[in-house]
Homo-oligomer: A and B are copies of this chain.
Amino acid sequence: MPFIDRIRHCNSFDPARVIPLWAGEHRVGWLRHDNAEVLSGHDRVFKVGGKNARLLAEGDADTVSRTVDEVVEVLVAERRVPKWRNETFDVAPRWGEKPLFRVDRGAVPFFGVRAYGIHVNGYRRDRGGYSLWIGRRASNKQVAPGKLDNLVAGGIGNGYGAAATLAKEAEEEAAIGPELIARAIAAGALTYRMETKTGIRDDVMFVYDLEVPPDFMPRNDDGEIAGFDLIPLEEILERIRATSDFKFNVNLVILDFAVRHGVLRPEDPEYLDVANGLHRPLD
């Protein structure tokens, strides 16, 4: 399978299948038509028309969040949203701006609000090449159980910035302390928009590179990762091409690593489509 197909898989979003969700003057989400239909039954909180939906709740972020939560509670009971994750994501007009409200992580794709996460390429240089520490996701994970993952990855919960999430997840997922994670280098942002069973994932991944010492061994403390392996990048790229072993969006993070470090090069006819395709335009 060409690499570009891994990128296409993460960009299955079809604008014809959604309507925009507005909060005041801001487009904050993308509602699939079936989800919009469901929200039209919550007409104290959402006003749903044929081409637009609008959040009616007004007030400060706490007030709006409580109102939205009441709807999410019903969606969970009706099994339209898989389950409460008890972790909330900020919804802001744009990255870096003040949040308008918060929503439970499990309901994020239902509303199609933008979500932010961090991904860490934990790597070693071996004989001129690269090897990456790869985690195997626990079999009881809600999303992509058993799939291969970056050394550290996690969503940016409400009130956390990128740097705080990086430090927290590094500690919880791989027992990486503050001294080592301080060496992680922010290396860009990848974007994709994907339709899932629940709705729309409109995701931003802040990527970091962390060169780890030869004696480094990750250890998982929160039960979310079943184990880690150090794998040569060339072998990882072959597996990305030939298998679906990696979590859908982790394919993108590793392709970006290969692009930035000259492992994929302009001489590859796929290069430009891959390098460019990792960055879906924001709106």
Q: A residues within 8 Å of B by Cβ?
A: 94-97, 161-163, 185-189, 191, 204, 206, 208, 259-262, 264-273, 275-276, 278-282
**How many Å lie between the Cα of A273 and that of B162 in the bound state?**
15
With a CB–CB cut-off of 8 A, which chain B residues contact A272? 94-96, 189, 204, 282
Of B191, B206, B268, B282, which one neighbours A266 at CB under 8 angstroms? B206
Copies of this protein, total = 2
A44 to chain B, nearest CB (A): 34
**How many Å lie between the Cα of A186 and that of B278 in the bound state?**
16
Are A162 and B266 in contact, with the CB atoms below 8 A? Answer: yes
With a CB–CB cut-off of 8 A, which chain B residues contact A161? 266-267
With a CB–CB cut-off of 8 A, which chain B residues contact A162? 265-267
**How many Å lie between the Cα of A26 and that of B45 in the bound state?**
49
**How many Å lie between the Cα of A189 and that of B161 in the bound state?**
28
Are A262 and B96 in contact, with the CB atoms below 8 A? Answer: no
With a CB–CB cut-off of 8 A, which chain B residues contact A191? 276
**How many Å lie between the Cα of A259 and that of B188 in the bound state?**
6
**How many Å lie between the Cα of A273 and that of B96 in the bound state?**
10
**How many Å lie between the Cα of A72 and that of B120 in the bound state?**
51
8 A–B contacts from the bound complex (CB under 8 Å): A95-B273, A96-B268, A96-B269, A161-B267, A163-B267, A186-B265, A187-B260, A189-B259
**How many Å lie between the Cα of A84 and that of B204 in the bound state?**
45
Are B260 and A188 in contact, with the CB atoms below 8 A? Answer: yes
**How many Å lie between the Cα of A232 and that of B76 in the bound state?**
54
Of B185, B204, B264, B281, which one neighbours A281 at CB under 8 angstroms? B281
Of B95, B265, B275, which one neighbours A271 at CB under 8 angstroms? B95
A96 to chain B, nearest CB (A): 3
